[in-house]
Structure 1
Amino acid sequence: MRDAFSNALVSAAKQDPKVLLLTGDHGYALFDAFRHACPDQYLNCGIAEQNMVGVAAGLAKAGFRPIVYGLAAFVPIRVLEQIKIDVCYENLPVTFIGDGAGVVYAQLGTSHQSTEDIAALRAVPQISIYSPGDRFELTACAERIMHNPGPAYLRIGKADLGDIHSAPLSNWSNGDLIAATNTGAPFLFVATGSGVKLAQKVAAALGNADVISAPCLKPFPELSLRTLAKGREAIITFEEHSIYGGLGGLVAETLMGHYLGTFVRVGIQDRFSEICGNYTYLMESHGLAPESVEKRIRKALDASAQLQQ
């Protein structure tokens, strides 16, 4: 997915010399291709993220199309006020890239993890929110963002989990949820970002479940979800984000008054990461290992069945 991200940046910059990439002193090889192809469109703003957003806002007012890159713990969380006032209030065409969202930076602790970025930005007017699950979704989201005249946030989580789709999403639009599997099964799994891979693993173990990916969280495809939800016995959401204010909240708000079946939100519970370890270990500590999630869902389904007896 990182190669797709790099390719999307280079492609956008080559097509439009007004596209500028701003980073907060990230010297990653991720940007080598961009610096080689478009050296005059790359700005290192230093470790001063709030100022970087102000610079991006000024450049946008001057007719440029800035792309602001940072770790999701810093962009958007550290710069939320600047995103709100400097960019969104004036509806400027600035794109924010939050890399390493969720608990990807497991060894670095809570200061470098971001499980609240979707919730924080959902309440800010004007900004679109994208959360791709694989390279094909990332490319499609990048294309949508470049045609979006306002602010946008692209959330990138664990980048090496593998593909969800087998080909580019040539016909995808913001108004669609994307079927990873959709056969009319009794259970509907709605997932975003790295949560799609988790949903696929749990669906394979549980059976009777269709997996749907939601790469666009704002504006959210409400009509598409309500159509897919009809007749389902259970709906489960999957996200590497807090269960509050993210995909789970979006689905609950959308289906309120339209769905009365079993509903489960799979995500980060209301707590910080209090231990360190690698990514897999930390996901397990948050109860997000496939086996733990499957057990939890089975328990919820059994409880629902008993209530109906």
Structure 2
Amino acid sequence: MRKEFSAVIERLAKEDESLVFITGDLGYNALENVRDVMGPRFINAGVAEQNMVGVAAGMAYKGYKVFCYSIAPFAVYRCLEQFRNDVCLHNLPVFLVGNGGGYGYGIMGSTHHAIEDLACLSGLQNVKTWIPAFADEVETVVETMVAEGRPAYLRLGAGPKTPEGAQAIGSFRKVRSSEAPKGTVVALGPVAANVLKALESSEQLGSQFDVYTALNLPPDLPTELVQQWGSTGNLLVVEEHVSIGGLAQQLSVRLLENGASFRNFTSLAAQGYPDGLYGDQSYHQRQSGLDAANIQARLEAFLTN
């Protein structure tokens, strides 16, 4: 998604001189096009994320719209206080961009993983978090962030293109339909590709489950989705994020408030480091049961219960 991100920033920067881009000494071989177009509006703050966000808040207060870029854990955890106090409480147009959300940086270990980032940010005042599942969603997301002009966080990963026929409903997108669904799957971010792989590997499952992706936290859940999901009786939530403060927890509150009930409600979420070891992203997904094989097994269990 980083390629799509840099392309839309380059285009918007040519159209809007109020845009500023600050990087925390990252983005090599990815953001040179942005640097060349923006000139002095492209700033390398160095390894000083707290200062980066403080400077961004000051510039936003003076009328600029500022992107702050780093890998996800550095963009979120190192400057959480500055983003909360300087940006969110003043409702300023500063946009954190974290690359490699979830276990994206794999073998580099826990210091480079962001599996609690959405819990940290989605509860702050005035902020909206954006978690595209597909690479071609990034352009529209960035355009919307700039247009809304409010505090935001964009979590980037490695995702395929959106399946044909996807339909936006509130902060969700329906990406796979069945004629008479016996269950619903809601995925957060690029791990949606594992869900689609699980369904494509089984003709039986593929014809019996609807699949949605969630684009925002906190979620905007339309009443029609509450009714549709509740009517199937089975709901599986899949996210590369810890369960506390994640999609399943936030979604369950909205569903309960609207009177939905399910025969089976299952949450698959990041489990941290069960064996104390590090590996690539797929290794950690398997450790957490976020791989296609385990997703398929959970959906098969729905049909037998």
TM-score (norm 2): 0.91
Q: Which runs of 5+ in 2 are unaligned?
A: none
The aligned residue for residue 177 of structure 2 is 182
* Percent of aligned pairs sharing the same letter: 31
Q: Which one of the candidate residues 178, 190, 193 is aligned to 1:194?
A: 190
- Distance in 2 (CA, whole Å) between partners of 1:136 and 1:58 is 32
The aligned residue for residue 165 of structure 1 is 163
Is the contact between residue 109 and residue 273 of structure 1 (CA under 8 Å) also seen in structure 2?
no
The aligned residue for residue 278 of structure 1 is 280
The aligned residue for residue 269 of structure 1 is 271
Alpha-carbon distance, 1:281 to partner? 2.1
2:139 match: secondary structure: helix
Is the contact between residue 177 and residue 224 of structure 1 (CA under 8 Å) also seen in structure 2?
no
- Distance in 2 (CA, whole Å) between partners of 1:272 and 1:63 is 46
2:85 match: secondary structure: helix
**Matched residue type, 2:163:** H
Is the contact between residue 131 and residue 188 of structure 2 (CA under 8 Å) also seen in structure 1?
yes
Alpha-carbon distance, 1:273 to partner? 7.3
The aligned residue for residue 211 of structure 1 is 211
The aligned residue for residue 244 of structure 1 is 244
Is the contact between residue 13 and residue 41 of structure 1 (CA under 8 Å) also seen in structure 2?
no
Q: Deviations over 1:5-42 (max 9, x none)?
A: 11111122111111011011114111011112222220
Alignment of 1:1-309 (within 5 A): 1-157=1-157, 159=158, 161-166=159-164, 172=168, 175-183=170-178, 184-204=180-200, 205=202, 206-207=205-206, 208-256=208-256, 257-269=259-271, 271=273, 274-299=276-301, 302=304, 305=305
Is the contact between residue 129 and residue 219 of structure 1 (CA under 8 Å) also seen in structure 2?
no
Is the contact between residue 110 and residue 272 of structure 1 (CA under 8 Å) also seen in structure 2?
no
TM-score (norm 1): 0.90
Alpha-carbon distance, 1:270 to partner? 5.8
2:129 match: secondary structure: strand
**Matched residue type, 2:102:** G
**Matched residue type, 1:178:** R
- Distance in 1 (CA, whole Å) between partners of 2:224 and 2:25 is 41
Is the contact between residue 105 and residue 113 of structure 2 (CA under 8 Å) also seen in structure 1?
yes
**Matched residue type, 1:220:** D
Is the contact between residue 283 and residue 289 of structure 1 (CA under 8 Å) also seen in structure 2?
yes
- Distance in 1 (CA, whole Å) between partners of 2:30 and 2:250 is 32
Alpha-carbon distance, 1:289 to partner? 1.8
Is the contact between residue 185 and residue 210 of structure 2 (CA under 8 Å) also seen in structure 1?
yes
RMSD: 2.1
Alpha-carbon distance, 1:284 to partner? 1.7
Alpha-carbon distance, 1:125 to partner? 1.1
Deviates more, 1:84-93 or 1:273-282: 273-282
**Matched residue type, 1:16:** D
Q: Deviations over 1:92-135 (max 9, x none)?
A: 01111011110011111111101001111122110011100112
Residues 1:38 and 1:272: Cα distance change in structure 2 (over 3 Å): farther
Count of paired positions: 298
Residues 1:172 and 1:19: Cα distance change in structure 2 (over 3 Å): farther
- Distance in 2 (CA, whole Å) between partners of 1:189 and 1:122 is 22
- Distance in 2 (CA, whole Å) between partners of 1:67 and 1:224 is 35
Q: Which runs of 5+ in 1 are unaligned?
A: none
Q: Deviations over 1:200-257 (max 9, x none)?
A: 1222333311111111223523435314314112111111111221111122111113
2:31 match: secondary structure: helix
**Matched residue type, 1:109:** G
Alpha-carbon distance, 1:142 to partner? 1.1
- Distance in 2 (CA, whole Å) between partners of 1:128 and 1:213 is 16
Is the contact between residue 116 and residue 242 of structure 2 (CA under 8 Å) also seen in structure 1?
yes
Q: Deviations over 1:42-85 (max 9, x none)?
A: 00001010111000000001111100111111111221111110
- Distance in 2 (CA, whole Å) between partners of 1:225 and 1:272 is 34
Is the contact between residue 203 and residue 210 of structure 1 (CA under 8 Å) also seen in structure 2?
no
Residues 1:224 and 1:116: Cα distance change in structure 2 (over 3 Å): farther
Alpha-carbon distance, 1:177 to partner? 1.8
